[in-house]
Amino acid sequence: MAAGGRVLPLLYKVAGFSHKNFTGNCLTEDMKALELKHKSKVIVAALAAIAAGQALLAQTDPGPRGGPSNAGNPLPGLTAAELAYFTEGASRFRELDSVTGTEPGATGNGLGPRFNLNSCAGCHAQPTVGGSSPSPTSKQNALVNPQIAMATEYGATNTIPAFIQPNGPVRAVRFVRNHDGTPDGGVHDLFTVTGRSDAAGCSIAQPDFDTAVAQQNAVFRTPIPLFGDGLLEMIPESAILANLAANAQPKAQFGIAGTVNRNPNDATITRFGWKAQNKSLLLFAGEAYNVEQGVTNDLFPNERDETPGCVFNGIAEDHFTRTATSPTAALSDIVGFAEFMRYLAPPVPVPGPPNPSVGHGSQVFAQVGCALCHTPTLQTGLSQSTAMSNQTVHLFSDLALHNMGSGLADGIAQGLATGNDWRSAPLWGLGQKIFLLHDGRTTDLVDAIQQHASPGSEGNVSVQSFNALPPQAKQDLLNFLRSL
């Protein structure tokens, strides 16, 4: 239908006339009567309303920035020893694991029997090593989802689940319930080593992902960026709790509460992971190595699947090397990973003074309540490392849990976090992030903002406030977020 065929009937309806004699783009007698009765002002008003409606739809996500990544570098001010551990950790982070370490191209061993990928850097690749899920649309590090090739590497006989796509995010899968209806919540790895040339004799099946998806029992997580994590580890509990207690009146007006997740053993605040479920970078590294790659280690020394014929190495597969010739060579992989993450600098926002739109967008960010959860800055405390001691951290997170409602709920409880709870994701580096939200369901900032609103969500009032903004203010906010 031509533009007039869409607009004129609408104008007709707004003006209060029947459209029964209206066809195509022709003006009928009723419309002539409208002109004779000097109703043109109604049309003008209607046109203005339509234009306003179109303007409301005009705000667009500028998309991930091009140019240098400005990320993946060590923290400024590291000592020579700290820099050496960072460099060694980065090398371990890039390591490609096979089952026994004997396959061409492999630099480590211990993969499987079940796994999601064979390298930390394979998951954390955007916009550079240490970041979030890779994508072929990246302007810095274009990569097809590496889980596609991993399914059949070295002769493996895995089927690629439908939710893993070449241009989609790297994903880990959790099942909400066990077969008997009791809570599950654990990671069910995508692939097995069955059929691989370095796993002769192993025969185990992949999980039944098709059934889990059909029963709405499968939920997804994507890799979290690791930039600046050492600074997050150094933020004192007192700073996190004081920030939660601050701004009580505006938080109440916006319906924002928030709580912390805690370690069940020592009751201290946990802060890493999508639900702030992990206590430290070392624990985060050890768990991920065992769960995502199947590599046993000094923190997680037992295989997740002990099927006879599928266990090829003694445990722990990754361990401290007592016969090493240097301190860095003696590190276990998980300690190396932790050192890499600990000394990894935060991403750098767009250099130079912000343009007027970005500057105004930062004000709008606070105006609509975003900053009440995504706290712009927190302070580290006293650290053994001068580079991390008493630093201002521009994280845009309160490191706390917030109820995000039924729309983002995944039904998984972790520690004190319920199925509706999520840590306020640090927004630094958002300017180059491609897949958004915990499961990578969208690449569009506008969509991601709207998904913060659903029954029970602490983000409802903020989203309503965003939707009520003038069009330019909305665009300014989006421009600000992509400047981070």
For the stretch 168-210, pLDDT in tens is: 999 999 999 999 999 999 999 999 999 999 999 999 999 999 9
Round to whole Å and give the CA distance between 411 and 181: 13
- 436 vs 148, 427, 446, CA distance in Å? 20, 11, 11
**Is the distance from CB of 258 to CB of 458 less than 8 angstroms?**
yes
Of the candidates 227, 251, 253, 287, which has an alpha carbon nearest to the alpha carbon of residue 402?
A: 251
Half-sphere exposure of 234 (CA within 13 A, CB side): 23
Q: DSSP for 141-185?
A: S----THHHHTTGGG--PPPPTT--TTS---EEEESB-TTSSB--
Distances from the Cα of 477 to the Cα of 104, 367, 402, 430, angstroms: 49, 10, 22, 13
Residues 6+ apart with CB under 8 A from 82: 74, 343, 385, 387
Two tokens, residue 44: 């003008």
Measured CA to CA, the distance from residue 254 to residue 370 in angstroms comes to: 10
**pLDDT by residue (tens digit) across 364-382?**
999 999 999 999 999 999 9
Cβ-Cβ contacts under 8 Å for 216 (sequence gap 6 or more): 176
Selected from 1.10.3210, 1.20.120, 1.25.40, 1.10.760, the CATH number assigned to the domain covering 234-266+349-481 reads 1.10.760
Q: Which residues contact 450 (CB under 8 A, 6 or more apart)?
A: 463
**Is the pLDDT score of 36 beyond 50?**
no
- Give the residue extent of every domain in the chain: 3-56, 234-266+349-481
Distance CA 335, CA 341 (A): 10
Is residue 98 packed enough to be buried (19+ CB in 10 Å), middle (13-18) or exposed (0-12)?
buried
The DSSP element (H or E) to which 115 belongs, if any, is strand 114-115
**Segment 123-137, tens digit of pLDDT:** 999 999 999 999 999
pLDDT computed for residue 43 by the predictor: 36
% of the chain exceeding 70 in pLDDT = 88
Distance CA 236, CA 241 (A): 9
Instruction: Respond yes or no on whether the N-terminal peptide bond of residue 351 is cis (omega within 30° of 0).
Output: no
